[in-house]
Amino acid sequence: MLGLGRGGKGDIYRLTTGAESTGNQAMFRSWVYDSLILRLTARWYAEVLKRLPAGAVLLDVGIGTAGALAANAETVRCKGVRITGIDIDADYIVRARRRLEETALGAHAEVRLESVYDHRAGPYDAVYFSASFMLLPEPERALRHCTALLSPGGRIFFTQTIQQRPSRGMEWFKPMLKRLTSIDFGRVTYEDAFKAQLDAAGLSLEELTVLSRHGNRASCLAVARPRS
Ligand SMILES: C[S@@+](CC[C@H](N)C(=O)[O-])C[C@H]1O[C@@H](n2cnc3c(N)ncnc32)[C@H](O)[C@@H]1O
């Protein structure tokens, strides 16, 4: 499978050709991902798409298998949104390409096997991190990089869970989940730390909406724009 080199610091985002996933492994990983994640994130995409202007050009950072996007295909088509989706997971990108064909979204969306730090296109009216921001090893650098890809008036959207109260249990549990499911759920995000990351990257928080609550965690939508 294509994977990330994680040797030295400079290696962190490099896509490497290690052992290939077999077809069955790749299908299994994509199936696990779709079964566990999609129902939730399809609703998140719907909320973000609702807020985009017609004809918006969108960068989807960490598009995964494109299932959440495909679940909103009708909205994408009606609003004439154009999407570039990037991901570092080769198995997911294969599934995403197939899915865009199946849902006839090919005219609206393309996917690339690429890390956010290496992405050099745009400009974009919106950059969207759905359950991907908390996976990034250098979140502020990703934000600064994406801010530079925005067109004037552009926005950065986030949907993810935010832990409402400190939870050592959840901090321990998230890495365990990756071992069990093959899905990287990243770090636990706390609201203050998230706001501080936006601020450090020169972004102002425009909206922070709780979409649903699950105990001490909340599914949140955040919208940020460059300060000044
Ligand atoms: C939990 S999945 C979310 C997928 C999709 N956005 C959704 O909400 O259904 C997070 C995705 O981010 C991708 N990802 C992690 N680091 C990345 C990076 N540096 N650049 C682009 N994508 C990345 C992962 O491979 C994974 O597919």
Instruction: Give residue-wise pLDDT tens across range 34-93.
Output: 777 888 999 999 999 999 999 999 999 999 999 999 999 999 999 999 999 999 999 999
Pocket test for ligand 1, best of 2, 33, 135 (most atoms within 8 A of CB): 135
Instruction: Give residue-wise pLDDT tens across range 144-157.
Output: 999 999 999 999 99
Q: Which domains are assigned to the chain?
A: 37-226 (3.40.50.150)
Q: Is 66 left (phi over 0), alpha (psi -120 to 50) or beta?
A: left
Pocket test for ligand 1, best of 86, 88, 188 (most atoms within 8 A of CB): 88
| Single-letter amino acid, residue 6 | R
The reply to whether omega before 123 is within 30° of 0 (cis) is: yes
Lining residues, ligand 1, CB within 6 Å: 13, 37, 41, 61-64, 68, 86-89, 92, 115-116, 130-132, 135-136
- Atom 1 (ligand 1) nearest CA: 131
For residues 146, 57, 115, 164, the Cα torsion angle rounded to the nearest 10 degrees is 60
Confidence band, pLDDT 50/70/90 cuts, at residue 179: low
Q: What are phi and psi of 39, to 5 degrees?
A: -60, -40
Q: Which residue has the higher pLDDT, 21 or 13?
A: 21
Cα 135 to averaged position of ligand 1 atoms, centre (Å): 7
- Atom 20 (ligand 1) nearest CA: 115
For residues 96, 97, 99, 101, the Cα torsion angle rounded to the nearest 10 degrees is 160
- Atom 3 (ligand 1) nearest CA: 131
Ligand 1, atom nearest to 89 Cα? 25
Residue 137 in this model has a pLDDT that exceeds 80: yes
